[in-house]
Amino acid sequence: MKYLVLPLTAALCLLGFGAGAQQEQERLDLPGDNLNLYAVLKLFQASPTLEDFEKSLNDESNNINNLDLNGDNETDYIEVVDNVEGNVHNITLKVAVSKDEDQDVAVIVVEKDKDGQATIQVIGDEDLYGKDYIIEPNYDSDGNAVGGTPNPGYSGSQSTASARADNSNVTVQYTTTYEVATWPVVLFMFRPAYVVWRSPWYWGYHPPYWRPWRPIYWHQYYTYHYYWDYYYFGHYRRWPHYRVPGWRASYYGGNSFRRSAPLVQVRVQRGDYRNTYSRPDLAKQGSAMFKRDHPKAPSVHNRPPNFDKGGRPVRPVVTRPAVTRPTRPGGSTNPGTTRPVTRPTNPGTRPVTRPTNPSTRPVTKPVNPGTQPVTRPTNPSTRPVTRPTIRPSQPSTRPATRPSVQPATRPATRPSQPGTRPAVRPASGQ
């Protein structure tokens, strides 16, 4: 792997997609806010099998699953089902919200080609995350994932999530499609003896070791995962494109394995899920949870996130222009860097001094001719008089006067009286 250490705010400024970039949102105002897909992908990468992945996903101590889609004040059990289509594994996370209704939460799409390269994306279902909410590993530019050009992190929008853990450092770790193919769970799924995993559990029938718990409020859940951002954004990113061609049309086309529960759609439209955002004061409990469970984490001493009056995370605005603009093009070596400063401020310093103070020049040269300062603004005959006067008396002032005085007179007199020179020269010569 390749490593790059950056301040998190600087790294998150790189999380844009370029053209058509999306900005990482701290809060979606959708049920998916209570299942962090960055955490899901991290857990998936560490799991040896899909069965272990399902068990860990529904483990209260991992603080990943906080979904309550049917509103019974108990966390939902997330079932894991692998739908295989050729060399593509569509690992669906779904919830039984009633006896007759299932709701897809997200799909982990794993594709492996004949060359041994594998791509992985976690795609949130639109009912819970909105359109095109996709998380994937930070692919290295030397190991491009099929179907797009890698980007060193998201952000974007995410932005981003551009304010998360702003007082820490993030280590951006790049991976390749070959390395993704060596993840334990990927090796497990592509073994010849692999038996397709379909969760045996369903509504009212769950494993004996599992007991539902009361879900926590979103600000507590968000703050807990806020302290994981150094890892989430160091390894994963938002991405706007689907790696498998035609996947979206197939999944939402009506003939796929997707399940959408009308109950969830009705509750979203009614705003039933908004209650989870009603306790921003509990954010400190999320901070305490993380520090209790991970006392040696590098982010344990970070400041907790700030929220505005509406309970939304507050992003620091000052870092983005300060980090990106000065460092990109080496502005100090560009000879044109001073021009943008002078041109907008005084695009015409010459014409400005002429009309405002035509007599300012005579102030610096009243030593020799007393009558000439009066005639200079009107007669161009001052040029031959001033030049011989200044040069012998003060050669050191020559560079000082020429850029400010001498070039200024030429454009001023020529357009005003182009025919005055022949009339004035014989007069001054006498």
Q: Per residue in 41-70, pLDDT tens?
A: 999 999 999 999 999 999 999 999 999 999
Q: Per residue in 77-112, pLDDT tens?
A: 999 999 999 999 999 999 999 999 999 999 999 999
CA 9 – CA 167 distance, rounded (Å): 8
Q: Per residue in 366-396, pLDDT tens?
A: 444 444 444 444 444 444 444 444 444 444 4
Which pairs from 412-416 meet CB under 8 Å and 24+ separation? 412/350, 412/351, 412/354, 413/380, 413/383, 414/380
Helix, strand or coil, per DSSP, at residue 58: coil
SS (H, E, C) 202-262: ECCECCCCCCCCCCCCHHHHHHHHHCCHHHHHHHEEECCCCCCCCHHHHHCCCCCCCCCCH
Q: Does the predicted TM-score (pTM) go above 0.75? A: no
Q: Per residue in 191-215, pLDDT tens?
A: 999 999 999 999 999 999 999 999 9
Question: What secondary structure does DSSP assign to 286-298, as a single string?
Answer: HHHHHHHH-TT-T
Q: What is the mean pLDDT of residues 18-43?
A: 79
Confidence of residue 426 (pLDDT cuts 50, 70, 90): very low
Task: Determine the pLDDT at residue 168.
Answer: 54
> Domain segments of the chain: what residues?
2-321
Which pairs from 269-277 meet CB under 8 Å and 24+ separation? 272/71, 273/29, 273/30, 273/31, 274/29, 276/33, 276/34, 276/215, 276/217, 276/218, 277/27, 277/29, 277/217, 277/218, 277/219, 277/311
Instruction: Output Rg (C-alpha) for the chain, integer angstroms.
Output: 34
CA 392 – CA 401 distance, rounded (Å): 14
Where b means 16+ CB within 10 Å and e means fewer, 180-206 reads bbebebbebbeeeeeeebebebeeeee
Indicate if the pLDDT at residue 399 is higher than 70. Answer: no
Task: Determine the pLDDT at residue 62.
Answer: 97
**Mean pLDDT across the chain:** 75
